[in-house]
Each structure stands twice: as structure tokens, then as C-alpha cells.
Amino acid sequence: MGKVLVIAEKPSVARDIAGVLGCRQKGEGYLYGDTHIVSWAIGHLVSLYEPEDYDDTLKRWRLETLPIIPADMKLKVLPKTKKQFGVLKGLLNDRDVDSLICATDSGREGELIFRYIYRLCGCKKPFQRLWISSMTEEAIREGFARLRPGRDYDSLYESARCRSEADWLVGMNATRAFTVKHGVLLSVGRVQTPTLAILAARQREIDAFVPRDYYEVQNDYGDFKGVWYDKDIQQTKIFEKERADGIAARVMGQSGTVFKVVREQKSQPFPQLYDLTELQRDANRYLGFSAQKTLTAAQSLYEKHKLITYPRTDSRYLSTDLIPELKPVLKTLDIEPYSGYVGGLFSMSHLPTGPRLVNNAKVKDHHAIIPTRRIPNFSQLPNEERRVYDLIARRFIAAFYPPYEYELAQIHTVIMDETFISRGTAIKALGWKELYKDSKTDGGSDEQPLPPCSEGDGVTALQAEVLKKKTAPPKPYTEAGLLSAMENAGRFVEEEELKEQLKDSGLGTPATRAAIIERLLKVGYIVRKGKTLIPTQKGMNLIDVVPDELKSPETTGKWEKALNHIARGAMEPEKFMAGITRYVNYLVQEAAKGKPGTVFEKDKAKSSGTKAQAKTSAQPEARTQAKARGQSNIQSKADAQAQTKAAGGEPLGKCPLCSGGSITANSKGYGCSNFRNGCRFFIGEISGKKLTPVQVRTLLAKGKTGVLKGFKSAKGIPFGGRLILQNGKIHIEREEQSDGKD
């Protein structure tokens, strides 16, 4: 009887499996024992052909050769891992090997790694699938006891293959098409471009925002404070200083009455267990970690230290078969700093396992991330891994705690016919927040409790103070916020039916979102500024020139939903790929048309027909793609500063009046380069507002702007509106006013 070949995704995982199977003898690139051989990939050993692998003439980037749509997508060995591929090929075709076990990561990408190797080696031997959620010895043994036929995962492989080929077709063709058309290297991708569009849309909101002063009047009653509000529109903002001063002067030292007291008892259940995206969000919020840093730490906790279950999961629930594991895991956590929190749980005859925690219908490939039974040695854990483990451990313990209970209170007072409101929070029972009382994570409210009070009680304004404030622009995305936006792509869709369909789809997957963010940073489309992510001018320009379908989260959300259907066997792969082919043809046509008015800063190296042409998108977006040489200089200052000045007379678009000149900035505004020949097109101050270069570029390219603030009427009253460009003339389409609301 021959041996069984087990193929893992990484050498470290292979060694763990080999230890369980008793494979202690070493070969070149594998371990073996009496019945099994254990070898490994090193991530991806195999990739899709590059265009020039099909035809050498495709090395040169030209619009005439696009779209490139191979009839059969071929595979090749990656040069850096050619040696290990040779080892696997020899083992797969060894006569002494009767059957195989796929032990790559239990997910879509892991399935693709094994199947591509299997396919390129031309292997036909039967194989089984090891599917586990923990790398502990117990979990590996249990996994081998319930191996499943490889064919059970054929649909998962088809989903992975379609994703890989779709990324190649869209990325390769769109990148070449837009790069050649605009003369600068423009990396475009199925997921990265709509992700960039989300950041660009927020930046445009920030750029268009004009801050506005407002005032609040605050009374001090001695044991609590109240803020004036307009009872008709329920707003505390006052936009006229004279009015605020008048209210403060009128109520100062005056007595009034409590006319309404509202007290609400609230209960907040424990936060659900972590999936990868939620873990990355919290690590960014509370630890300042990037999504990639969190993923790296979690992967190490899973593979190397075996302290947590499979981290690349999209579920926040446990399945019923894990209920017997819960108390043993809690016993593992009966150590400092958690022993004070878990001790009381052991006295329970049954741990609470309601549907917020255990729900089979919400567990697909993997359950939520939880600690394993292995006791951590914190002195041996690197700082980043220890802090990520702490998040996971506390979240797991909190799942067995009672709700956080508190009281929300409001006291409404009236003095001299002016109304004031006071708000406060009183904690009744910390519940699960007991675990976070000494940290910023999930801490309680900053509001103080209000004193006992009843309707009809008297109050006196001991002090009345006018507080000057400013309306705030939308905040730039942090990584935590962007991860949420990527996960919930459906919220950017207006059509209600489609929004509902996209609830379970998003941009990328939990396993790939960190890499997408890193990719945008790498190609110079965004920069980090503290905890925030800011699009560069190059990134903003790209979003201006690509068609709506390419930057729409709706498109990618639909695709991700289709890929999920393929994985469940509910959709034919051929139907999906036919749609991708039609889409690629459309993208190339749109790129060839071009869009006037958007000018890219040239890269240091020419982007067409030279070695600077990067091999883009041949690998999945989630993997590190080939380096794009000669990237444009990333802005080192905030875009908000850069956008207040024109880049040395850089053309902002074609002149809409004479069509022969270009619009550039000068000391007085924006004029046509053809002015010496009589063109009189000029954009100066419009109703008291000076436009930024970005706003002018948008106006020239689209014929209109979004809603801009900062215009003033002849009487000096501020208003907002859109600029409309028609027949070389600009007029304002005023925005409807909203009773002083900002």
C-alpha cells in the first residue's frame, strides 16, 4: 500500500501536521513517516500567465492590442519558488504516493493554492480535504478523523478560480488601457479602485466644506448644567452671535422651572465575538494598528503560537458543536490578567449560549475567532501579538457576562421663556463592561449622572456662558472606518432592493481588505496621516477618469455576491466569466475615449513601452503585485493644503469657450491660455467665493460641481449651491435652505 501525501500552505503548518502524523524524517522539501509524507507550498507557487507569456509582442503596452482575453487562462511556476514546486511535482507523480490530502488554509485562497499546483502538475490522483479552525494538536487530530472528499470543495475552487481570473482580466486590461491613454502608470483593480473611490468621495466632501461659526448658551445651575435649545427644531446651534449674547444676558441670574424630566432604562448586551474585520477595526481604534499589522499578529497567534482559532473568518458566531469547548477555554484563561473575571463563571451549571453567541445558520466556513485551550505565556509573546490576543480573550469572556445597564436622563428647564436641556448617564450595572473598566476599549459614557429632579422644581442660572464653536467637516477615513465601508458596500447603493441583496457582500473579503489598503498606499493613491487615510492628487485624478462602473462599490459587491453563489454551487462559473468578458471590453472602450480636463503629473520613468511598465494584476489583488516603478511623488503634505494652489500653471482642462486653449491658474483666478488670441474665458471670484483648482477641474470636466458652501448673496447672507457651466458661461444653482440647520 502506497503513502498519502499531505500538502500544507506553509512550512510551519506542515511541521505541525507532521508532528501529529509522526512524520519525523526529513527529505528535501518534505517530512515523512511510515504512512504519510508532508510537504508544503510557500504561499502561491503558481500564477496565471502574464500577457507576454502568451505573445511576446504584448510586452509593449498599446491600446490596439486590448482587450487581452485568453481563450484558456494558463498557469506558470513562480521563479522564486520553482525549487519547491519541483519537489511537489515529484511527490505528486511518485508511484509510491497513492492519494493526497489538501491541507492548505481552510478558505477560498487556500483552496486555489492547492488546486493550481494540482492542475499544473497534471495530477489525477484522488484527494481529501483537511478543514480545521485551529492549529492545536487536538484540532489537527480531529480534522484528520473527519476528512472530506476533495470534490466537496469543487465549487469553492471554482469561486476562487473565477475571482483570480476576473482580477487578472479587469486589472491587466484596465491598467494598460488607462496607463497608455493618460501617459502615466495607473494601477486599476476590481476591488482597489472602488475602495479608492470611497476615500475620494469623502475627500471631496471635506474639500467642499466651508466651516461656519455658531454659538451655544450654557447655564450653570450649581449641581448640573444645561444648554439652550430651540424647541421647534430641536437644535442647540445659534448662528447669530447677537442672539446668543441676548439670551445669555436675559437669563443670567434669573430663576426658572423644571418642566420635563425623562429617564430611560437602557440595556446593552455583550459585543459579539470577533471576525477578522471587526478585530482589525478595534485594533485600529484602540491600539493604532493598521489592518495589515493586525492580520500579521493574528496569523502568528494562530499558526506559530496556536493561541487562537482561524483568524481569516467572516463569522461572529459559534456553532453548537463548540459548546462543550467553552468551559475548557475559560479554564485556560484562569490566569492573570483574566482570572478575576472568569472565576465566577465556573459556578454556572450551564454557560449562557443564546443566539447572539451560538447560531449554526451564521457559521459558514469558519466560526468566530476565540482563544484555544493552549495557555499563553505572555512573557514570550511579542507586544503586538499579546495586545491582539488580549482583545480576543476579553471579547470571549465578555460573551458570558450580563448586559451593561444604565440610565439616560434629560432635564428640560425654562427660564425667561428660553428652554434649556441637560443630559446625563448613570451606570446601573457594568455587566460585561467590567472587563473594560480600566481601559479605553468599550469604556462607559463620559456624561455625568444628573441629580434627582422633578417637574416643577426651581432652578437658577448662576452663570450663563456663550460658547463659540465651528461646524465640523466630515472626518477623513481611518482604517477602522474604511474597513467598515468596505464590509458594508451596500450602504453606498441607492436602490433599496439591491442594497438589501448586498448586505452580505462587500469590497473584498476579510482576508484581503488589509492587502487592498496596503496596495493603495504602495502605488501612491493614498497616504497615511496619523490614523487617517488621505487620497493623493493622483488617486483623486484616477477616480475622475475611470467610468462609474469601475469605481462603484455596487459593481464589486454584485461580483462578490456572485462568487459566493458559485462557492455554494448556486451559479455556473461560465455565466460569471462571460459577464466579466463583456465588462472588460467596455472598460477598454471607455479608456480609449478618454476624459478631458484631467491631467496627471508625469512619472519619473515613462509609463509606456519601457521597463517601467509594471506587471499589474496578474496576481490577485489580495497578494503583493509586481512593483510599479516610477510612481508619482506622493504628496508629503495634506491634500487640503496642496489643493489651495495651482501646480505651477498645470492645465486644469480644456477651455469651454474657444476649445483650443487650456484653463490654468494665475494670480487673479483661472483663465484660458489662448487669451492672446482673443479668448476671454475667465473664472474669478463667484458670489464672494474663490474656487480651488480641484473644483475648477471638476467644473470643466463634468460641466457642474457638487454642492459648494461659502457663496454670499448681495446682502451678505451665506448660501450653498452648485456651479453649472453651459455655453462657456457659469451660473449658480442655489441649494434649498433648511431653517438654519447646517
Give tens-digit pLDDT for 686-701. Answer: 988 888 888 998 898 8
CA 488 and chain centroid, separation = 9
Contact assessment for residue 375 and residue 332, using Cβ atoms and an 8 Å cutoff: yes
* C-beta atoms surrounding 36 within 10 Å: 20
**pLDDT tens-digit map of 650-687:** 688 888 888 778 888 887 788 888 776 778 888 988 98
For the residues 283-288, what does the mean pLDDT come to? 94
Q: Is the pLDDT of residue 5 over 80?
A: yes
Whether the model clears a pTM of 0.85, i.e. scores above it, the answer is no
Contact assessment for residue 274 and residue 266, using Cβ atoms and an 8 Å cutoff: no
**pLDDT tens-digit map of 585-624:** 999 999 999 887 777 877 554 433 433 344 443 343 433 3
Q: Is the pLDDT of residue 416 over 80?
A: yes
Listed in sequence order, the residues at least 6 apart from 351 whose beta carbon sits closer than 8 Å to its beta carbon are 323, 326, 327, 330, 345, 400
Q: Is the pLDDT of residue 707 over 60?
A: yes
Q: Is the pLDDT of residue 505 over 80?
A: no
Q: What angle do CA 32, 38, 43 make, to 5 degrees?
A: 150
**pLDDT tens-digit map of 528-580:** 998 899 999 999 999 999 999 999 888 887 888 899 899 999 999 999 999 99
Q: What CA–CA distance (Å, rounded) separates 155 from 159?
A: 6
Q: What CA–CA distance (Å, rounded) separates 518 from 290?
A: 9
Quote the pLDDT of residue 441: 62
Q: Where are the alpha helices (DSSP H) in 124-153?
A: 137-145
Listed in sequence order, the residues at least 6 apart from 93 whose beta carbon sits closer than 8 Å to its beta carbon are 121, 122, 123
Considering only CA atoms, which of 8, 5, 4 is closest in space to residue 110? Answer: 8
For the residues 88-94, what does the mean pLDDT come to? 96
Say whether the peptide bond before residue 337 is cis (omega within 30 degrees of 0): yes
Rounded to the nearest integer, the mean pLDDT of the chain is 87
Contact assessment for residue 74 and residue 48, using Cβ atoms and an 8 Å cutoff: yes
What's at 139, amino acid-wise?
Answer: A
Quote the pLDDT of residue 659: 73
- Which domains are seen in the chain, by residue range? 3-151 (3.40.50.140), 162-207+479-593 (1.10.460.10), 213-265+407-430+438-470 (2.70.20.10), 276-398 (1.10.290.10), 644-734 (no CATH)
Q: At 30, list the grid cell.
A: 518534505
| SS3 category, 488 | coil
Q: Which of 310, 317, 477, 583 is catalytic?
A: 310
Listed in sequence order, the residues at least 6 apart from 315 whose beta carbon sits closer than 8 Å to its beta carbon are 275, 362, 363, 364, 365, 366, 367, 368
What's at 648, amino acid-wise?
Answer: G
Listed in sequence order, the residues at least 6 apart from 352 whose beta carbon sits closer than 8 Å to its beta carbon are 400
In this structure, the chain runs to a length of 742
| SS3 category, 127 | strand
- How far CA 41 is from CA of 5, 50, 116, 664, 738, in Å, comes to 13, 21, 11, 55, 62
Listed in sequence order, the residues at least 6 apart from 340 whose beta carbon sits closer than 8 Å to its beta carbon are none
Q: Is the pLDDT of residue 634 over 50?
A: no
Lowest-confidence segment of 5-14, 198-207, 489-498, 641-650 by average pLDDT:
641-650
Contact assessment for residue 433 and residue 442, using Cβ atoms and an 8 Å cutoff: yes
Residue keyed to cell 458543536: 321
Q: Is the pLDDT of residue 631 over 90?
A: no
Contacts for 287-291: CB closer than 8 Å, 24+ residues apart: 287/387, 287/388, 287/391, 288/531, 289/384, 289/387, 289/388, 290/479, 290/514, 290/517, 290/518, 291/479, 291/483, 291/513, 291/514, 291/517
Quote the pLDDT of residue 626: 29
Q: What CA–CA distance (Å, rounded) separates 370 from 383?
A: 19
Residue keyed to cell 469553492: 156
Distance linking the first and last C-alpha atoms of the chain: 78
For the residues 174-189, what does the mean pLDDT come to? 94
Lowest-confidence segment of 421-435, 553-567, 568-582, 623-637 by average pLDDT:
623-637
Strand-pairing partners, residue 412, are 260, 421
Respond yes or no: is residue 310 known to be catalytic.
Answer: yes
Q: What CA–CA distance (Å, rounded) separates 15 from 29?
A: 11
Q: Is the pLDDT of residue 107 over 70?
A: yes
**How many alpha carbons lie under 13 Å from residue 271 in its C-beta half-sphere?**
18
Strand-pairing partners, residue 262, are 410
Considering only CA atoms, which of 28, 33, 74 is closest in space to residue 54? Answer: 74
Q: At 257, list the grid cell.
A: 422651572
DSSP conformation letters of 270-328: PPPPB-HHHHHHHIIIII---HHHHHHHHHHHHHTS--B--SS-----B-GGGHHHHHH
Q: pLDDT-based confidence at 446, cuts 50/70/90?
A: low
Quote the pLDDT of residue 443: 52
Quote the pLDDT of residue 35: 96
What's at 495, amino acid-wise?
Answer: E
Lowest-confidence segment of 65-79, 259-273, 478-492 by average pLDDT:
478-492
